[in-house]
Amino acid sequence: MCTESTHAHRPVSGFAPRPDPDFEFADPLTLEPVDAVTLTTLVDNKIDLLLPDQGPVRRAGLLAAANAPRLATSVLDTGETYDVPLAQHGFAMLVTVTRAGTDHHLLFDAGMTPDGLVDNMRRLGLSPADIEVVVLSHGHSDHVTGLDGLIRAVPTADLPLVVNPGVWTKRRIAIPGILELELPAPSRRALSDAGLDIIERQHPSLVFDGSVLITGEVDRTTDFEHGMPFHEALAEGTWGPDPLILDDQALVVDVAGHGLVVLTGCGHAGIVNIVRYARRLTGVSKVAAVVGGFHLSGPAFEPVIDSTVAALAELQPEVVLPAHCTGWRANYALAARLPDAYIPNSVGSRLELRADPSPEVFPAAVG
DSSP secondary structure of 195-251: T-EEEE-SS-EEETTTTEEE--SPP---SS----TTEEEEETTEEEE--S-TT---E
Residue 143's identity, in one-letter code, is H
Instruction: Examine the pLDDT at 312 and tell me if it is beyond 60.
Output: yes
Instruction: Examine the pLDDT at 177 and tell me if it is beyond 50.
Output: yes
Pairing between β-strand 70-72 and β-strand 160-163 as defined by DSSP bridges: unpaired
**% of the chain with per-residue pLDDT over 90:** 86
Instruction: Examine the pLDDT at 196 and tell me if it is beyond 70.
Output: yes
Q: Which fold has domain 32-354?
A: Metallo-beta-lactamase; Chain A (3.60.15)
Per-residue pLDDT tens over the stretch 143-156: 999 999 999 999 98
Neighbours of 148 (CB within 10 A): 20
Q: At what angle do helices 305-315 and 328-337 cross, to 10 degrees?
A: 40
What is the pLDDT confidence band of residue 39, given thresholds at 50, 70 and 90? very high
Mean pLDDT, rounded, for 250-270: 98
Q: How far is 196 from 148, CA to CA, in rounded Å?
A: 12
Q: Where are the domains of the chain?
A: 32-354
Q: How far is 280 from 24, CA to CA, in rounded Å?
A: 5
List 232's β-bridge partners, or say none: 172, 241
Q: Answer positive or negative: Cα dihedral of 111, 113, 118, 124.
A: negative
Task: Tell me the average pLDDT of the chain.
Answer: 91
Mean pLDDT, rounded, for 257-273: 98
Whether the model pTM is above 0.95 = no
Per-residue pLDDT tens over the stretch 87-128: 999 999 999 999 999 999 999 999 999 999 999 999 999 999
Cβ neighbours of residue 284 under 8 Å, at least 6 residues apart?
28, 31, 254, 259, 260
Q: How far is 181 from 174, CA to CA, in rounded Å?
A: 7
- Percent composition of the chain: helix, strand, coil (DSSP 3-state, to 5): 20, 30, 50
Please tell me the predicted confidence (pLDDT) of residue 42.
98
Q: How far is 238 from 208, CA to CA, in rounded Å?
A: 40
